[in-house]
Structure 1
Amino acid sequence: MAIRYKVDIMSELKKKGYSSTKIREEKLIGQSYLQQIRHGELVSWKTINTICSLLECQPGDLIEYVKEDGVQERG
């Protein structure tokens, strides 16, 4: 996958005081999305929006594009 997380999202949330338990209890991010984040899978823009709000950051602080070998660029 060419788009990936630049940081450990769960670790960053924890630093800001948002444990998995707190996130679930306050219904900030669903359990299935938390699992996707833990496994490095990309989540919805709505979830990225929530994470950016909690971490007070921009989407570009969380994700990056990395060109894969053998993939030709279009344009």
Structure 2
Amino acid sequence: MANYGDNGYIDFSKLWVLMRTKDLNKQWLKNNGIHSNTVAKLTKNENVTCEVICNLCRLLNCQPGQIMEYKNK
């Protein structure tokens, strides 16, 4: 089995761009049920659960591809 990160990673840069276009910030995420630890993970492109991604898509009325992108290292 490959070590963590050997297969690339998920980049959440699109999330922050989308939020800027909607005039939203990290505090808005926290105020709407996304835990501060999770916001920190998103900022650092660390692992989050599918449930978090579903919550983000619901809150932002978007599809996963609008907030994240696979990067091959």
TM over 0.5: yes
Alignment equivalent of 1:38, drawn from 35, 43, 47: 43
- In the TM superposition, what is the alpha-carbon distance from 1:6 to its structure 2 partner? 5.5
Alignment of 1:10-25 (within 5 A): 10-25=16-31
Residue 70 of structure 2 corresponds to which residue in structure 1?
A: 65
With CA pairs under 8 Å and 6+ residues apart, which has the higher RCO, 1 or 2?
A: 2
Query: Could you list the runs of 5+ residues in structure 2 that have no partner in the other structure?
Result: none
Q: How many residues align?
A: 67
Matching residue's letter, 1:24: K
How large is the Cα RMSD of the aligned pairs? 2.4
In 2, the alpha carbon distance for the partners of 1:8 and 1:60 equals 8
**TM-score, normalising length from structure 1?**
0.62
**TM-score, normalising length from structure 2?**
0.64
Alignment equivalent of 2:59, drawn from 42, 45, 54: 54
- In the TM superposition, what is the alpha-carbon distance from 1:65 to its structure 2 partner? 3.2
**Closer/same/farther in 2, CA of residues 23 and 60 from structure 1, 3 Å limit:** closer
